[in-house]
Structure 1
């Protein structure tokens, strides 16, 4: 996936689902349920046990074109291994050494940042988009404030983004929102979560109601 393809997918779909769990098989089922329910961008956090195997198995099922990425990419080794497992993009919690390695491996990066200095550094280091994390610290008003000095930045708020906050961030100019627990629930843990399909439908309706105004 090229950086402009990731940006276009974020702009079109407006929802990045974050799978972070405790069971590899449940995490795989969650990824497949998300895609099957209509979510088109999914990241698997590398904090999930067996995350690389989850990505590899999901890629085998979903095919080469699915926008399946790796999250919580911290180190150059993480970036290398994520690319080898079949990740199409990488998401980092901050501006780390993984950013350069991910780009070298052909993975566009959504790099975590929260301060103006970190946003500037993420953009300088070639991030395709900026993961505003944790987004709950400043909320939509903070996103608007950051957008003034960084009008060309593509912001994806993550962290504490429930359905209400997602709508507010999108209305405030976010390119997309990253949603973990409020969407995935306990689906990626043993026992699963029978309410996941209903929440998928809820979030997809929500993002469809928020037309994207970013360029």
Structure 2
């Protein structure tokens, strides 16, 4: 897949992690049903690869599904085997190159200008600023865009509706959203509340959709 184009088109990556695999699967399917096009299943969730496999079977080949918290080559190979279209890493490491070799574009975790340069050298498709909220939020993104005006930045970490809007206004290609969107749904919480949050976040993203 063309991850950069997908991020530009949809502006939002939903991050699903939970301790209840059935609830996590329901969460993924609900997000897809609400029109959230880019969904990442984090390997830190229970039975994450099984959740991904089941989601792939239910949604078919056209729904972009990613695997997050890819740390090494074994994670990358397992993600690809489970049907992932793209990989997301929290930092630079062996998982970046291995995922690319396996045919998956990578949203690579970076924080500093040095890491941005390194990630691009490794072939990352897009750059995950993480943890975004702890390093200055939208102001930090704006500062990075000075020397890196054309890089596809995706802030992740503490992104609620208001900060999602602020990041996108500041030039983020997309935002990655976990608990402010998913809430407790992946642990068995309310699906109706998840639907409401999904619609709110999607409305923010659609303000910036080309």
TM-score (norm 2): 0.97
The reply on whether 1:19 has 2:45 as its aligned counterpart is: no
Tell me how far 1:153 sits from its aligned partner: 1.1
2:149 corresponds to: 151
Q: Where has structure 1 moved over 4 Å in runs of 4 or more? A: none
Tell me how far 1:152 sits from its aligned partner: 2.4
Tell me how far 1:75 sits from its aligned partner: 1.1
Between the aligned partners of 2:129 and 2:84, the Cα distance in structure 1 is 21
DSSP 3-state at the match of 2:61: coil
Q: Select which of 43, 63, 84 maps to 1:46.
A: 43
Q: Select which of 110, 113, 118 maps to 2:110.
A: 113
The reply on whether 1:57 has 2:50 as its aligned counterpart is: no
Gaps of 5+ in 1: none
Between the aligned partners of 1:123 and 1:202, the Cα distance in structure 2 is 33
Tell me how far 1:148 sits from its aligned partner: 1.4
The reply on whether 1:67 has 2:64 as its aligned counterpart is: yes
Between the aligned partners of 1:191 and 1:198, the Cα distance in structure 2 is 13
2:85 corresponds to: 88
Q: Is the 8 A contact 1:123 1:153 kept in 2?
A: no
Q: Deviations over 1:73-129 (max 9, x none)?
A: 111100000000000000000011101100010000000001111111111111000
Q: Is the 8 A contact 1:95 1:111 kept in 2?
A: yes
Tell me how far 1:211 sits from its aligned partner: 4.7
Q: Is the 8 A contact 1:16 1:42 kept in 2?
A: yes
Gaps of 5+ in 2: none
Tell me how far 1:210 sits from its aligned partner: 2.8
Q: Is the 8 A contact 1:46 1:73 kept in 2?
A: yes
Q: Is the 8 A contact 1:185 1:193 kept in 2?
A: no
Q: Select which of 116, 123, 128 maps to 1:126.
A: 123
Tell me how far 1:132 sits from its aligned partner: 0.5
TM-score (norm 1): 0.95
Tell me how far 1:64 sits from its aligned partner: 1.1
Q: Is the 8 A contact 1:26 1:192 kept in 2?
A: no
Q: Select which of 178, 197, 205 maps to 1:180.
A: 178
